[in-house]
Structure 1
Amino acid sequence: MYIMYVDESGDPGPYNGQNSPHFILSGLIISIEDWNECVQRLVKFREMIQKAYGLNKREEIHSSEMIRPHKVEAYKRIHKSDRVNIIRLFVAEMCNMFPNGRLINICLDKEHISQSKYSSGMQELAWKRLIQRYDTFLKKNKSKGIIVSDDSSEPTLRRLLRGMRVYNPVESRFGGYHNPVITNVIEDIFYRSSTHSFFIQAVDVIAFCLYRKEYPKGSLKKFGFHLLFDTLDSMCVKEASGRDAQGIVRV
């Protein structure tokens, strides 16, 4: 059995020139057989960060806030170069912390996807893509799985997942067709506050790094943030999209 932890980057609303031009979902897949060891590695990492930089292990790691602190006073007490190093170290340790972990990533460019075509919105479109790829992964591994997310849109996603177990239409550029109904993702999506989950904090960092890869920002390029996601290449489920070298689903 597997658990997929999910977090997002960007907002799901239509692009209006003021909000983010993207919507990203990243899913970190962990086998329950590896779960205890992964937790232990996460705890050891946070203890190391606490000792080296003074960030209490109970303090959430939230990437965008860590780069430019507004609400978290604990971040403000740490020099920016150290906050940057915390994120970089976290990414550098991912493959060691999750040696059998896999990643599924959805990256939607709002300006190139018609809102009229996907009237249900970017969030539902992205989640459909993510759930379908996860279910395919589970079927390939002859296993079942659950989803744990920090997302707050519980009613919408509950309806979506339950509907995909009955009828799973997906429209392609070549015309309408059906994906197999979802059979291996069990239960509704479970919700955890990222404050209380090191796993969701890890996915927050992953989604943030994918965002910086896709939409690099000059002020952060000097820290190499646009290169960090590529260090996770070996964890990516390449089969999720044959159109992308890292399996990133873009349409």
Structure 2
Amino acid sequence: MYLMYVDESGDAGVFTGNNSPHYILSGIIIHVDDWKDSLERIIKYRKMLRDTVGLQTRVELHCSELIRIQKIEEYKAIPKFTRLALITSFVGEMPALFSKGKILNICLRKEALPHCTDFQTLAWSRLIQRYDTYLKKADNSKGIIISDDTGEAIIRSLLRKMRVYNPVASHFNASYHNPVIDNIIEDVFYRDSAHSHIIQAADFVAHTLYRKEYPKGSLKKYGLDRAFNLLEPILLKQASTADPLGIVRR
């Protein structure tokens, strides 16, 4: 039995120049037998942050807030350099925190896809399909999805549809086959990220992938454009053979 914790970066709307040019989903996949150990390692890391930078364990770790504070008042007591170093530190620890896990990433560049694309449906269908394939290859195991609270009705309908009808183009000819989703149990379970250390970790994965894809000059000196690469040991590279890091882009 596996768990996949999911968070997103960007919005799913058509790019207008005033919103995000991307839509990213990142999922951290953990076997239930490893869940407790991973959680305990995160809590130990959070206690280290409490002791070194004064960030209490109850305070949510939120990547974009560490860069530009808008809501989390506790971050104001931490110097900017320390906050940005914390991002690289946390991401760099993830191969140890989730030593037996895998990370699945979907990254849609809106300008590279048709203007009429439903980015949320496309991204989630790719995530669900790749996760189900992973489960089938992992001794035909079962799994559930736990996500930050977003788009519940749309994703519920999508997953239920894919359990019955999921046409995928053949790699060998012009035909289609129907690999229905049958290893994912129940609908997606939703959690407020403030109450889930692992969803917070998925937020850092998604946001640092965004910073890799769209590097900002003023943040390069902090290494944020390179932080995502620290995850390479646990990336699910089989998700896309077209990308060296396994990032699904279409």
Q: Do both proteins adopt the same fold according to a TM-score greater than 0.5, normalized to the shorter chain?
A: yes
> Where does 1:48-67 land on structure 2 (aligned, <5 Å)?
48-67=48-67
Is the counterpart of residue 24 in structure 1 residue 21 in structure 2?
Answer: no
Which residue number corresponds to residue 163 of structure 1? 161
Counterpart for residue 248 of structure 2: 249
Q: Which runs of 5+ in 1 are unaligned?
A: none
The residue type equivalent to 1:185 in the other structure is I
Cα distance, 1:193–1:2 mapped onto 2, change above 3 Å = same
Q: Distance in 2 between matches of 1:176 and 1:57?
A: 52
Per-residue deviation, 1:236: 1.0
Task: Give the drift of 1:88.
Answer: 1.4
Kindly provide the CA deviation profile for residues 7-64 of structure 1, in whole angstroms up to 9, marking residues without a partner as x.
Answer: 0001000000111111000000001000111111010000000111111110001100
Match of 1:83 in 2: 83
Superposition deviation, residue 233 in structure 1 = 0.8
Name the TM-score, length of structure 2 as normaliser.
Answer: 0.96
Alignment partners' CA distance in 2, 1:151 and 1:249: 22
Report the 3-state secondary structure (helix = DSSP H, G, I; strand = E; otherwise coil) of the residue aligned with 1:18.
coil
Q: Distance between the aligned counterparts of 1:208 and 1:179, measured in 2?
A: 33
* Residue in 2 that maps onto 1:72: 72
SS of the equivalent of 1:249 reads coil
Deviates more, 1:83-92 or 1:214-223: 83-92
CA distance in 2, matches of 1:106, 1:31: 21
Aligned residues: 248
How much has 1:87 moved relative to structure 2?
1.2
Q: Which residue of 1 aligns with 2:110?
A: 110
- Conserved in 1, the CA contact under 8 Å of 2:26 and 2:103? yes
Q: CA RMSD in A?
A: 1.5
Identity of aligned residues (%): 56
**Compared with structure 1, are the counterparts of its residues 7 and 175 closer, same or farther at alpha carbon in structure 2 (3 Å cutoff)?**
farther
Do the aligned partners of residues 13 and 171 (structure 1) sit closer, same or farther apart at CA in structure 2, a change above 3 Å counting?
farther
Compute the displacement of 1:241 (Å).
0.6
Offset of 1:170 from its aligned partner?
4.1
- Determine the C-alpha separation between the residues in 2 that align with 1:17 and 1:172: 36
Aligned-partner Cα distance in 1 for 2:232–2:176:
30
Instruction: Output aligned runs, 1:161-240, within 5 Å.
Output: 161-170=159-168, 177-240=176-239
- Determine which of 114, 127, 151 is the counterpart of 1:153: 151
- 1:92-133 CA distances to partner (integer Å, 9 max, x unpaired)? 1101111011011000010111033x3xx1001000000000
Where in structure 1 do 4 or more consecutive aligned residues deviate above 3 Å? 170-176
TM-score, with length taken from structure 1:
0.95
Q: Does 1:132 pair with 2:129?
A: yes
Letter in 2 for 1:10: G
Equivalents in 2 of 1:18, 1:206: separation in Å?
A: 23
